[in-house]
Amino acid sequence: MRILAIEDEPKTAAFLQKGLTENGFSVVVCTRGDEGLALARNEPFDAVILDISLPGVSGFGVLSALRGAGNHVPVLCLTARDTVEDRVRGLELGADDYLVKPFSFSELLARLRSILRRSALNPNDPVLRVQDLEVNLPKMQAKRQGVRLDLTAKEFLLLALLARRAGEVLSRTVIAEQVWDINFDSNTNVVEVAIRRLRKKIDDPFPVKLIRTVRGIGYCLAKTNEPAATEAW
């Protein structure tokens, strides 16, 4: 598969090219946003790894231009900007996923493969669908059975994370890091509180419950109605 990496930091660019090549990808690297945008517009790529802080045109500018032109190539954003507002902006512009620097290559590879699988199942579709739930990433909207869900920005980020990795049990640590950028503290109940609030909006009004708790592990968004053996409600 052919990957475009738009990254201006030399060490990170070399790291991406070496790691992805060793894992069987064909990689094109460029260091400017305007050059990367031209490549993405004129050549076929299976996915784009996009740094946000770029010379020429910012990563947000590249992403906005691609989506505005109807180009739905999967985009994984790399960013040192770890605020919720920046993540929300990336989702609004149509990013498929994001990874905060510094990151491990194994996590980047897992995220990349995940968005490639989703793209294969739903080509050119920016909407994640899990049972009767629809999560529209560019519009920052979610619906269940056609009913619009009234979510805060953080609730949407949490739901988008669960929907992207539907069927996968996510630990409290992963959720805390991805949604709030905090190291998980066992004495903190921020994840439990957020899950409880989200359940009230996407599960309580409907007969089929989507958010599952797996004892001693974490939470997942169920792909099917079949309960997991270790599930607790």
Last residue of one domain, picked from the residues 121, 141, 167: 121
Instruction: Please check whether residues 9 and 27 belong to one and the same domain.
Output: yes
The Cα–Cα gap between 199 and 53 comes to 36
Least confident of 24-33, 72-81, 176-185: 176-185
Could you tell me whether strands 218-221 and 211-214 are parallel, antiparallel, or unpaired per DSSP bridges? antiparallel
Q: Which range has the worst mean pLDDT, 104-108, 123-127, 159-163?
A: 123-127
Co-location of 215 and 107 in the same domain:
no
Domain closes at, from 121, 153, 174:
121
Residue 146 phi, psi (nearest 5): 80, 0
Q: Could you tell me if 149 and 189 lie in one domain? A: yes
Mean pLDDT across the chain = 85
Which of 102, 121, 140 finishes a domain?
121
**Model confidence, pTM:** 0.60
28 and 52 both lie in a single domain: yes
Element (H, E) at 30: strand 26-30
> Do 95 and 140 reside in the same domain of the chain?
no
Q: Do 84 and 52 share a structural domain?
A: yes
Q: Are residues 110 and 149 in the same domain?
A: no
**CATH number of the domain within which 78 lies:** 3.40.50.2300
DSSP states along 34-56: HHHHHHHHHS--SEEEEESS-SS
- Give the span between the Cα atoms of 223 and 165, in whole angstroms: 10
Residues 94 and 169 in one domain: no
Question: What pLDDT digit, counting tens, does each position of 68-99 carry?
Answer: 888 888 999 988 766 677 777 777 788 888 88
Residue 11 and residue 74 share a domain: yes
For the chain, the domain total comes to: 2
216 and 145 share a domain?
yes
Confidence label for 60 from pLDDT (cuts 50, 70 and 90): very high
Residue 101 sits in the same domain as residue 21: yes
CATH number at residue 214: 1.10.10.10
Q: Domain of residue 195: give its range.
A: 127-232
DSSP state at residue 177: I
Q: How far is CA 1 from CA 48, 88, 182, in A?
A: 11, 28, 34
Q: Are residues 55 and 143 in the same domain?
A: no
For the segment 207-226, what is each residue's pLDDT rounded down to a tens digit? 999 999 988 889 999 987 65
